[in-house]
Structure 1
Amino acid sequence: MTTAHRTELPENAGRPGLEVSRPGRPSVGRVFLAILWRDAFVTGKEFGLLLVQIALTPLFMLFIFAKVLGTLNYVRPEFGDLLLPGIAALAAFLTALQSVAYPLVMEFGVTREMEDRLLAPLPVHLVAVEKLLMATLRGLVASACIFPLGALVLGDAPWRAAGMPLLLLVLALGSWAGAAIGITVGTLVPPHRISIMFALIMAPLMFTGATQYPLVSLDDLRWFQVVSALNPLTYTSEGVRAALVPSIPHVQPWLCVLALTGYALAFTAAGIAAFRHRAQK
């Protein structure tokens, strides 16, 4: 006589209203924070390399234009107070732009690492937002590093506690705008043309961004004033000056905030749209 084999079922199996418990799918917020933490962790491990990338060009500009030319009496001693805020703005803006543009070009076109990220249980647009947020944070870190390093180069640095809220707001908006431009460029430009594109973008951004001069002082050079006024970096530089050295002529802070917000929103929308289009190819 054979014994019938029975399959063991959970106690609640077959009962109405009761289901077998299954491990839940992680929430979108949890996945987003996990990816953000992973990128932040990698950034922390590579902080030395990031610091070199951040500091090299801006500090050389600060050293040559303020320290060397000041020692030779080609510029006034107080030129450093005008230049350092512009260099901090430049570091925030360009670090955010480069931190997302170059990796996106590589991940979409060469290493194909973006395919792994897109497999995460996360909407495509949030993958782009995570990249945007991480690049913005890197821009803020870059600007924070410039102030003590600039003080070492110049001997001191302009500082005004009352301007801290405006300073943080302008640097955050400037980093966001730079990151949004980086996403747009990184998704629209093919890998074999990225070097040419950056050559066409970087120099005009750096030298028409009011990092070395106040925008309002260009009344006698109107065409260049108009060109500079079209550059989002200009409003970052002017906003940082308004926060730290308001005695130097500058664009009104509310206009800097308004312009940076407009640029950031416009390029964020364009960048996310381009990212989604590229991800669906």
Structure 2
Amino acid sequence: MTLTDIPVDRPAASSVAAPRPPVARAFGAILLRDLLVSGKDFWFILAQVLLTPLFMLFIFTRVLTMQGIVGAGFANILLPGTVALATFTTSLQSVAVPLVKEFGFTREIEDRLLSPLPTALVAVGKLVVATIRGLFAAALVYPVGALVVGTAPGSWSALPLSVLFVLLAGWVAAALGMTLATVLPLQRIQATFSLFVTPIIWTGCVHYPWQRLAEIRWFQVATAANPMTYAAEGLRAALAPQVTHLPVGVCLLVLAAVAVVTTVAALWTFIRRAVK
């Protein structure tokens, strides 16, 4: 018997592990899947996004204006604030509500955590999708809201700055939503959302410019702690610069700083919850 006659154990072809796809490819596939799911929920998202802002615009700029309670120029104040509100609430809910289910009874998050991605990138993917949905909400609310109020403040030159503020506001809201969904107990999440979202709406300078609150100093300080204030004021600066507003640089700086802090907090709480 020669050496060539000695049988050699070879691994079966089926036992060879398939190569893992590149991280960028896997990340893109998960993003595409989430965006396609968002497309299937288009009509629900449309109703969720448009209902409250459009009723708010109609009541404040049509009903109250016809009664002489509100001035005709109030639309220039309210429309940019409503765009910020739609962006913020849509992004926050887009990441918070699914996460509550995925970490809860469906346990769908386990499938994502088994994907060839670092846990932090799984969280980043959810933030990206929520931010895109916030941008989609702003793109819907602005033209439809302009039809409701009868005026469309701003010009094409204001589009880049407006998109920048919408993206920053959407990212901050998504990071806040992720932090809430991964920190709070499941049984208290709904009640806490109501307690959290309501003050954000009414202290976010949606209905009034920040600088005109000088006579109510304590309330002005409270609104300064709300990141949506800087989104609303920044959009006013871009779309209706004739209205009193905070400087653009201040709004951008604050939103960027809050985005960094909330992103770190969201990733840390997500990873900690995922490990559990």
Conserved in 2, the CA contact under 8 Å of 1:97 and 1:180? yes
- In structure 1, what is the equivalent of residue 115 of structure 2? 120
Partner of residue 189 from structure 1, selected from 181, 184, 201: 184
Partner of residue 155 from structure 1, selected from 150, 155, 163: 150
The Cα shift of 1:5 comes to 11
Partner of residue 26 from structure 1, selected from 6, 21, 27: 21
Distance 1:182 1:137 in 2: 15
Partner of residue 215 from structure 2, selected from 210, 215, 220: 220
The Cα shift of 1:273 comes to 0.2
Distance 1:32 1:128 in 2: 11
Matches within 5 A, 1:191-206: 191-206=186-201
- In structure 1, what is the equivalent of residue 265 of structure 2? 270
Matches within 5 A, 1:127-146: 127-146=122-141
- In structure 2, what is the equivalent of residue 172 of structure 1? 167
Unaligned residue ranges in structure 2 (runs of 5+): 11-15
Amino acid at match of 1:268: T
TM-score by length of 2: 0.93
Distance 1:22 1:175 in 2: 40
- In structure 2, what is the equivalent of residue 41 of structure 1? 36
Conserved in 2, the CA contact under 8 Å of 1:83 and 1:211? yes
- In structure 1, what is the equivalent of residue 13 of structure 2? none
1:81 and 2:48 are equivalent in the alignment: no
Judged with a 3 Å threshold, the aligned counterparts in structure 2 of structure 1 residues 111 and 8 are, in CA distance, closer, same or farther, namely closer
Amino acid at match of 1:233: M
Distance 2:146 2:28 in 1: 35
Distance 1:8 1:191 in 2: 53
Unaligned residue ranges in structure 1 (runs of 5+): 10-20
Partner of residue 70 from structure 1, selected from 65, 69, 78: 65
Conserved in 2, the CA contact under 8 Å of 1:160 and 1:245? no
1:106 and 2:101 are equivalent in the alignment: yes
SS at match of 2:72: coil
Identical aligned residues as a percent: 49
The Cα shift of 1:22 comes to 7.3
The Cα shift of 1:147 comes to 1.0
Higher Cα radius of gyration: 1
- Stretches of 4+ moved more than 6 A in 1? 4-9
The Cα shift of 1:7 comes to 8.4
**Aligned positions, number:** 268
